[in-house]
Amino acid sequence: MAPGPLAQVLRQLPTVVDDNLLSAAIPFADAGVYRLRDDCALVQSVDFFTPVVDDPACFGRIAAANALSDIYAMGARPLTVMNLVGFPSCLEKDVLVEILRAGAAKVAEAGAVVVGGHTVEDDEPKYGLSVTGIVDPRALVSTVGARPGDCLVLTKPLGTGVLATALKGEVIGEGQMRDAIRGMEQLNRYAAEAMLTVGVHACTDITGFGLLGHALELAEASRVGLEIDADSLKVYPEVPDLAAIGLVPVGSYHNRQHYLPRVVNGEQLPAELIDILADPQTSGGLLICVQEDKLGQLCQELESRGSNAFVIGRVVEQNPGKLSVRG
Sheet of 32-37, strand order: 32-37, 40-49, 126-135, 77-87, 113-121
pLDDT, one tens digit per residue, over 3-13 is 666 667 877 88
Rounded Cα–Cα distance for residues 34 and 24 (Å): 9
Residue 171: exposure state from Cβ atoms within 10 A (0-12, 13-18, ≥19): middle
The SS3 call for residue 158 is: strand
Domain boundary among 90, 111, 139: 139
Query: What is the pTM (predicted TM-score) of this model?
Result: 0.95
Where would I find the beta strands (DSSP E) of 88-221? 113-121, 126-135, 151-154, 202-205
In a domain, 37, yes or no: yes
Domain boundary among 117, 139, 161: 139
Judge contact between 290 and 151, C-beta under 8 A.
yes
Q: What is the CATH number of the domain that holds 86?
A: 3.30.1330.10
Judge contact between 87 and 125, C-beta under 8 A.
yes
- Which pLDDT value is given to residue 3? 63
In a domain, 310, yes or no: yes
Q: Are residues 319 and 171 in the same domain?
A: yes
- Which pLDDT value is given to residue 16? 83
- Which pLDDT value is given to residue 5? 62
What parts of the chain have a pLDDT lower than 50? 1
Q: Are residues 92 and 210 in the same domain?
A: no
In a domain, 146, yes or no: no
In a domain, 4, yes or no: no
Residue 275 is which amino acid?
A: D
Q: Are residues 322 and 299 in the same domain?
A: yes
- Give the mean pLDDT of the chain: 96
Q: Which domain holds residue 167?
A: 151-326
- Which pLDDT value is given to residue 1? 46
Where would I find the beta strands (DSSP E) of 249-305? 286-290
